[in-house]
């Protein structure tokens, strides 16, 4: 895998990374930046242009939602949005639709979608 050798693709264990910035079941913004920031900077540095864009495929918010931690999932989305403006990173999130159990989770789905600039359903 050339992308891995060139360090333009960085694979991170989502569950392990997730646990490093959580305090009392909520993401800590300072720890989040300390943990995720170096990955973003490393990927940007490996880019071949003067102003490379980085794409991040985040799974931590979906993990939080799967654990029933809705507030933490929404807070993570907000932290990623802040990081996206700081580091010029495109954030790609994926949620299993079965994470939202019909009408009772409709507001959760809407709140998470509201944190995104675009939503696609596959």
**How far apart are the C-alpha atoms of 96 and 106, rounded to whole Å?**
14
Per-residue model confidence as pLDDT tens digits over 15-61:
888 889 999 999 999 999 999 888 888 888 877 666 667 878 777 78
**Domain-by-domain residue ranges, the chain?**
2-114
Torsion of CA 75, 80, 86, 89, to 10 degrees: -170
Could you tell me the pTM of the whole model? Answer: 0.78
Per-residue model confidence as pLDDT tens digits over 82-122:
888 888 888 878 777 777 776 667 777 788 878 877 777 76
């Amino acid at each position: 895998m050339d992308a891995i050798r060139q360090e333009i693709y960085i694979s991170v264990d989502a569950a392990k990374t997730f646990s490093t910035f959580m305090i009392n079941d909520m993401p800590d913004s300072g720890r989040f930046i300390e943990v995720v920031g170096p990955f973003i900077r490393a990927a940007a540095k490996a880019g071949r242009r003067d102003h490379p864009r980085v794409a991040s495929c985040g799974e931590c918010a979906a993990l939080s939602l799967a654990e029933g931690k809705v507030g933490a999932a929404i807070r993570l989305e907000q932290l990623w949005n802040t990081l996206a403006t700081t580091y010029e990173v495109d954030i790609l999130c994926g949620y299993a639709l079965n994470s939202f159990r019909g009408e009772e989770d409709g507001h959760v789905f809407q709140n998470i979608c509201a944190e995104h600039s675009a939503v696609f359903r596959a």
